[in-house]
Chains A and B, each alone.
Chain A
Amino acid sequence: MNLGDLCNLVEGTAVCGTGRLGDSVEYAFASDLMSDVLTIKSTDFILITGLANIQSLRTLEMSDASYMLLCRGKEVTPEMLELAEENDILIITSPYSLFRCAGILFSAGLKPLY
């Protein structure tokens, strides 16, 4: 799925890494538990989360993953922004809940990892 299309589907706003909106991603993983995210072997996924802190970005950095969808209008902190920019990570924020985002994107063809 094209990341720009994904952003539109969840009424999202890309807050950094906008150069990646032309990229495509095949899988998604929805979790607020970062140790669970760290079990993923693939790097081709978008993390759908409500966890708005620096460790969610660190987890993506360690996972070699480049895309985050932050739900429920959570605010991206300056520390998150700095780390995302350093690692060229796209962050999209959505006013929708994690459940609603996951439902919309699953219905639109984004695949689950497990």
Chain B
Amino acid sequence: MNLEYKVEGGDFTSAGLASSQIKKILKQLNVDPAVIKRVVIALYEAEVNIVAHAYRGVIKAQIDGGGINLTLEDEGPGIPDVEMAMTPGFSTASKAVREMGFGAGMGLPNISENADDFKIDTIVGQGTTLRIGIKFR
């Protein structure tokens, strides 16, 4: 099963809509609730990152019997120092993002914690692509 969702930068009202949709689909597929929670927390953090930092992005989810592969590709400023961005507590988030309850430098570490595979490709001035893989068993 292949799914695709568009995400708009700055649209905090809709942030999490794709994660919510994918959660419903995984529940219908009878995936273990503990695994669903790991998937949607990693995905939700990544979705919020697009809304918080990029101009726009696309979320692609590929689901098969073995697990889920998520690709989140955004057009945005990119990440100048990935190692620094992965450091818990480091953040470049705006005041608006912090007012929404995010932007404390926990997003990427949270994604890494919940994913079986996690890869960041980024080009400064162009955008960032996250690849998140989570096995169902």
> Across the interface, which residues of B come within 8 angstroms of A55, CB to CB?
12, 15-16, 48, 100-102
CB within 8 Å for A62 and B33 given contacts A35-B106, A39-B106, A55-B101: no
A35 → chain B, closest Cβ, in Å?
A: 4
> Across the interface, which residues of A come within 8 angstroms of B119, CB to CB?
none
Q: By the criterion of a CB under 8 Å from any partner CB, how many residues of chain B are at the interface?
A: 24
What size tier do the contact residues of chain A reach?
Answer: 20 to 34
Contact of B100 with A62 in the complex, beta carbons under 8 Å: no
Contact of A62 with B16 in the complex, beta carbons under 8 Å: yes
CA distance A39 to B40 in the complex (A): 12
Contact of B33 with A34 in the complex, beta carbons under 8 Å: no
Within 8 A of A (CB), among B74-123: 99-102, 104, 106-107, 110, 113
> Across the interface, which residues of A come within 8 angstroms of B104, CB to CB?
33, 35-36
Contact of A35 with B45 in the complex, beta carbons under 8 Å: yes
> Across the interface, which residues of A come within 8 angstroms of B101, CB to CB?
32-35, 51, 53, 55-56, 59
In the assembled complex, B20 has its CB within 8 A of some CB on chain A: yes
Closest chain B residue to A32, Cβ basis: B101
In the assembled complex, A64 has its CB within 8 A of some CB on chain B: yes
Using a CB–CB cutoff of 8 Å, the interface residues on chain B facing chain A are 12-13, 15-16, 19-20, 23, 33, 36-37, 40-41, 44-45, 48, 99-102, 104, 106-107, 110, 113
Using a CB–CB cutoff of 8 Å, the interface residues on chain A facing chain B are 32-36, 38-39, 43, 51, 53-56, 58-59, 61-64, 79
